[in-house]
A and B are shown apart, each in its own frame.
Chain A
């Protein structure tokens, strides 16, 4: 028997490791270990007033703080029956696009790309591939500009509040965004060039189940209330309020061994899942880019999540640009957030964070104080699928040196773009 251990996974957000035990060529045990300290934020918001919740729970994670904030606001609004204006919907969607652009650019260029080119980091890569690194930096900056303009800050947005936005963007700010997005469109073509130039990462094939928000109109990550779980020949749809079917939370909490599964099978969330569940998105430039990337859906290789993220960069910049154009043509109304009337009740919201499905579910008392909060993050949902794929990598790497197996395991882990701070609900092993 031998054990392959990656003690402290580098180039990911947060603190985790991988352990794989092999008996000959057969994997006898596989673990995605998490040793992030427990902050217990879900219990700390209990008793807080409704307007304090989003600023606290956005602190679960910096890279997806917009998703945590807006999902939190949506859950609160659902609990109180607040309807937001169409303009707020659009601004929130734009803010989501900004976060996705920054997060994907960070992941692809700073966390994933160095592996393909055998470098320890993006800054080391800058010595001989400065164009690729500068491209990543420009796209990151574009995503951050959108987040700063609409959310008031790139990390932990402050301007999104229950019912809408405290302050709407000015005409000058929107024109600045339009100009930046126009440049961003050209950069997206270059992203696909970079991705097609990479050596193939072909060492993990497995049947994979995907779960993502159904996005009937365009490619929104924020609107929508239905999740589809898709594997070949089997598609199931569930509504936000039924999220526990997806998370199997009961068994997760009481067992070291079980993770989130759907009908007993692990599933993958994130960019690749979104494209798989919403094939109607794959038209125009996106379809052409997909062909260049030789990506076929449904994919059996989790490494294809990197390709899917690069496709989303193309579609996010296009969609952000459309929203900004629309706002400029229509003119932004200087509207105040919808009025909040608190009431007792439960609200659930499911959205697509950069790394996949994110669920916030709150129960409020009649004074608008939170009685219970439940947060399920994409990395927690992905944990079981990651372990399944670690197993496949190890088994499909029979005869390889340990160092090669380690590198492959790390690359598959990074392809999931895990956000370990986020995994507040992950089953932990001491």
Chain B
């Protein structure tokens, strides 16, 4: 059987999910022996940018018309398109304040020149094209990425936790930052999979993996208000990484 052809792409973002792939130091050479990476601009100067692909791994959000065009071209080439990371899945940090006047902000950051840039409000991949698999996280977890590739190579659909960070945190027997210490922890509504990385270090969850499927944001908002937090602050925090999934 010939090796599946793969393309790895970054739209606008921090390149952190592509870096997670390169950070698989112990698996990288095995990985490249199992798949045929045809297009990976960040790691190679010899790319086929038109060939059909069995799997396209795409990180970053769409923040320009050029991003949207690239994404559409990738979709046309790919049998399976995987959104890698919170920006690709939820639009990420650049989308946190959708109500803002974009022209005003462009001028604020770049001066009048900013008005001539190719710039559109941040969008997740699924808002532009069909996405076959989401691997969330900011950045993605290495073991999730490797499992996703292994599953796709075997023709299986990867399964990710469908419970909140709280569940993982409780299994580690941590004291609750929200209930016991009154801290603004987004663990109850954030998708697990990080092994409660932050609360395990006594750092409140910032929600960087986006919301869990059955997130009860309004109940969490009430709990935060009971703890004395300002409603707007809390709502803004819940929207930081995944504006569409957070509380309204």
Q: In the complex, A39 Cα to B105 Cα: how many Å? A: 10
**Interface hits, A41-73 → B, CB 8 Å:** 41-44, 47-49, 52, 55-56, 59-63, 65
**Interface hits, B105-120 → A, CB 8 Å:** 105-106, 108-114, 116-120
The total of Cβ contacts below 8 Å across the A-B interface reads: 183
**Cβ–Cβ contact B203 & A152, under 8 A:** yes
- Nearest CB of chain B from residue A234's CB, rounded to whole Å: 30
**Cβ–Cβ contact A37 & B63, under 8 A:** yes
**Cβ–Cβ contact B43 & A123, under 8 A:** yes
Q: Give the chain B neighbours of A255 by CB distance below 8 A.
A: 113
Of the listed stretches A156-164, A216-224, A304-312, name the one at the interface; the rest are far from the partner chain: A156-164
Which partner residue on chain B sits nearest A251 by CB separation?
A: B111
Of the listed stretches A18-26, A136-144, A346-354, A392-400, name the one at the interface; the rest are far from the partner chain: A136-144
Number of interface residues of B (CB under 8 A): 66
Tell me whether B45 is interfacial, beta carbon within 8 Å: yes
Number of interface residues of A (CB under 8 A): 67
Tell me whether B1 is interfacial, beta carbon within 8 Å: no
Which partner residue on chain B sits nearest A375 by CB separation?
A: B109
Tell me whether B97 is interfacial, beta carbon within 8 Å: yes
Q: Give the chain A neighbours of B116 by CB distance below 8 A.
A: 430
- Nearest CB of chain A from residue B59's CB, rounded to whole Å: 10
Of the listed stretches A7-15, A79-87, A201-209, A289-297, name the one at the interface; the rest are far from the partner chain: A7-15
Tell me whether A166 is interfacial, beta carbon within 8 Å: yes
Tell me whether B19 is interfacial, beta carbon within 8 Å: yes
Tell me whether A36 is interfacial, beta carbon within 8 Å: yes
The 8 A CB mask of B137-151 against A (1 = contact, 0 = none) is 011000000000000
**Cβ–Cβ contact A59 & B198, under 8 A:** no
**Cβ–Cβ contact B45 & A120, under 8 A:** yes
Q: Give the chain B neighbours of A133 by CB distance below 8 A.
A: 29
**Cβ–Cβ contact B64 & A158, under 8 A:** no
Q: In the complex, A365 Cα to B97 Cα: how many Å? A: 20
Which partner residue on chain A sits nearest B45 by CB separation?
A: A10
Partner of A56, one of B93, B108, B202: B93
Partner of B43, one of A35, A121, A155: A121
Partner of B14, one of A60, A152, A158, A167: A60
Which partner residue on chain B sits nearest A106 by CB separation?
A: B22
Partner of A59, one of B25, B138, B203: B138
Q: Give the chain B neighbours of A61 by CB distance below 8 A.
A: 14-15
Tell me whether A253 is interfacial, beta carbon within 8 Å: yes
**Cβ–Cβ contact B117 & A421, under 8 A:** no
**Cβ–Cβ contact B19 & A37, under 8 A:** no
Q: Give the chain A neighbours of B233 by CB distance below 8 A.
A: 49
Which partner residue on chain B sits nearest A337 by CB separation?
A: B202
Q: Give the chain B neighbours of A111 by CB distance below 8 A.
A: 43
Which partner residue on chain A sits nearest B205 by CB separation?
A: A158
Tell me whether A126 is interfacial, beta carbon within 8 Å: yes
Which partner residue on chain B sits nearest A122 by CB separation?
A: B43
**Cβ–Cβ contact A44 & B94, under 8 A:** yes
Partner of B201, one of A44, A110, A115, A152: A152
Q: In the complex, A312 Cα to B13 Cα: how many Å? A: 28
**Cβ–Cβ contact B64 & A421, under 8 A:** no
Please provide the 5 A-B residue pairs with the shortest distance between their CB atoms, ordered closest to farther: A37-B63, A62-B16, A37-B12, A120-B46, A253-B111
7 inter-chain pairs at a CB distance below 8 angstroms, sorted by A residue, are: A10-B47, A44-B105, A126-B29, A141-B25, A155-B16, A421-B12, A421-B14
Q: Which residues of A contact B (CB under 8 A)?
A: 8, 10-15, 35-44, 47-49, 52, 55-56, 59-63, 65, 106, 110-111, 114-115, 120-124, 126, 133, 137-138, 140-141, 144, 152-156, 158-159, 161, 166-167, 253-256, 410, 421, 424-425, 427-428, 430
Q: Which residues of B contact A (CB under 8 A)?
A: 10-16, 19-20, 22-23, 25-26, 28-29, 32, 37, 40-47, 61-64, 66-67, 92-94, 96-97, 100, 102, 105-106, 108-114, 116-120, 122, 138-139, 197-198, 201-203, 206, 208, 233, 236-237, 240
